[in-house]
Amino acid sequence: MEITQQSSEQLGNMQESIGLKLDPLGDNISSLELVRVSGSDIDVANAARVSFGKTITSLSEKDVKLIQYLMNHDHTSPFEHNQFSFRVKAPIFVTRQWMRHRMASYNEISYRYVNVPMEFYTPHQWRYQDPVNRQASHGSFENEEMRKIYQDTIETAVQAYEKLLANNVCRELARGLLPVCTYTQFIYTCNLHSLTHFMKLRLHPGAQWEIQQFAQGLLKLALPHFPVSLEAWKHKHCPDLQL
């Protein structure tokens, strides 16, 4: 059976995902956008079948099963012959976790070069420190006193930053006062293998909640372009995830 045409719904989802801007943190500041994609599930199958000197132009059921087999058995190299580019707006502390993933390319806005409107991430709710996993959190609670301390500290940092700039301190030094909840922007380019590795780690329950939200957004935007590969990955690693 040949799967020669993508459904109109699939094509519509692909078109909609390019340029669609998500707000992963739900604060009307964060954003995630797929700006470019190269390749498809056909390229995954062709990368695998080149070992036998074969090339396809449409997916068959046999090719679908091949891709599922590759994903289930961690044959990763066929998933590397493609590319995604995302534009990301996230707090600096999320970005520094993100850029630990080195099998990708990054270009980030520079506070050495530009003065941009100061935007900061404030959590919707506080979370407790996990008593077992020292790098994780759990639960949630409200505390207006802690929120005021948090926001007052940001305001103090901004005032100090602006005062330094007003007194001719260079931007590259004055920015040292800005907290890691300051928003930054960057371009993130990777292949499908790198993307799935990122999602495997950052969709884990022990990952920080904020970066989990961005990982879900990446999957949502990429899925229409590689539905066979990513449905196989999702079935293996997070079958209960609702996008």
Give the mean pLDDT of 20-45: 97
pLDDT for the residue 4: 47
117 vs 96: CA distance, rounded Å? 20
In which band, very low, low, confident or very high, does the pLDDT at 133 lie, cut at 50, 70 and 90? confident
Residue 134 is among the residues annotated as catalytic for this protein = no
Tokens 């879900």 correspond to what residue? 216
Domains of the chain: 2-111+184-237 (3.30.1360.170), 126-177 (no CATH)
| Tens-digit pLDDT profile for residues 153-182 | 999 999 999 999 999 999 999 999 999 999
Helix (H, G, I), strand (E, B) or coil at 85: strand
Quote the CA–CA distance of 79 and 70 in Å, as a whole number: 9
Closest CA relative to residue 221, chosen from 19, 38, 64: 19
| 18-29 tens-digit pLDDT | 879 999 999 999
Interatomic CA distance for residues 33 and 23, integer angstroms: 9
Which among 112, 58, 104 has a CA at the least distance from the CA of 218? 104
Burial class (CB in 10 A: 0-12, 13-18, 19+), 95: buried
Backbone dihedral angles phi then psi of residue 60, each to the nearest 5 degrees? -105, 170
List the end-to-end C-alpha distance of the chain, in Å, as a whole number: 30
* pLDDT for 70 beyond 80: yes
Map tokens 């132009």 to a residue.
57
> What percentage of residues in the chain have a pLDDT greater than 70?
95
The CA distance from 222 to 230, in Å, is: 8
Average pLDDT, the chain: 93
**pLDDT class for 11, splitting at 50, 70, 90?**
low
96: CB partners within 8 A, 6+ apart? 180
Q: Quick one: average pLDDT of 41-55? A: 93
Q: pTM of the predicted model, to two decimals?
A: 0.92
Q: What is the pLDDT of residues 81-102, one digit of tens each?
A: 999 999 999 999 999 999 999 9
Predicted confidence at residue 10, as pLDDT, reads 66
Residue 84, judged by CB atoms within 10 A of its CB (0-12, 13-18, 19+), counts as buried
Does residue 58 register a pLDDT over 80? yes
